[in-house]
Amino acid sequence: MALTQILGLTLIPVGATVLGGAIAIFRVPSERTRSLVQHFAAGVVMAVVAGELLPEMTREHRPLGVLIGFVLGVALMLGVKAFTERIERSSEQAGEAAGDSKTGLLIAVAIDVLLDGLLIGVGFAAGERVGTLLVVALTLELLFLGVSVAASLTEAKVGRTRTLMTVAALSALVILGALLGGSLLAGLSGLALEIVLSFGAAALMYLVIEELLTEAHEVKETPLITASFFAGFVALYLLELMA
């Protein structure tokens, strides 16, 4: 797929991130609403993994590639988590003497957004259909991310204009990651493609289990919130069947 087409599609999650920031500037959604959206987004992402990436991996039928890809994916996500947590701790310690600092949070978010863009590039390496569905799936996740960042900056008494500009700047990293992934991974086949697909599947499952659902479960579960995960899964899976 041409990089110009990838660029056009990645503008969708970029816009969603900015929209989420704009919404939170004026009114932060309740924790229950945010949990519901996170569950729905988690279901959507899992549908992409189950309906697109796993069948592609099975079709390639290269166990070594699957093993390498999963090890690399999990190792990278765990490494990123450890790195961002260290930055956040250092920022909080420094902020004790210099006011409430959000530098650590912004660095952590920047890395997450860049990785989301890279995963979109991984999807397009597997095919236009997979990449497009990943754009849809990660748009919801990035919408919530925009809400979270704007809410945190608002709590820190950062002005509305500066908050929105910060969210917009962070969202642009989606484009950078997608173009980087799309250009470096284009035309892969065989073992290399299997590794990339497995890497993407592992990273997306980590996103669902360790980020979206972990944060979502901080709110008391209700039948509606739980059902939203399955609603997201079914909604995207039906979209796959109709595509």
Residue 13 · residue 135 · CB < 8 Å: yes
The CB density around residue 192, as the number of other CB atoms within 10 Å, is 15
Provide the pLDDT for residue 92. Answer: 66
Provide the pLDDT for residue 98. Answer: 43
Element (H, E) at 96: helix 63-98
Provide the pLDDT for residue 80. Answer: 87
Provide the pLDDT for residue 170. Answer: 92
Provide the pLDDT for residue 108. Answer: 81
Whether the predicted pLDDT of 95 surpasses 70: no
Whether the predicted pLDDT of 93 surpasses 80: no
Provide the pLDDT for residue 99. Answer: 39
pTM to 2 decimals? Answer: 0.84
Write the pLDDT tens digit of every residue in 109-139: 898 899 889 988 888 887 888 888 889 888 9
How many whole angstroms separate alpha carbon 192 and alpha carbon 77?
20
Whether the predicted pLDDT of 64 surpasses 80: yes
Residue 133 · residue 48 · CB < 8 Å: yes
Helices (H), 99-222: 103-126, 128-155, 160-185, 190-206, 213-216
Question: Poorest-confidence range of 30-34, 45-49, 145-149?
Answer: 30-34
The domain ranges of the chain are 3-242
The CB density around residue 155, as the number of other CB atoms within 10 Å, is 11
Whether the predicted pLDDT of 45 surpasses 80: yes
Token pair 């008494």 is found at 157
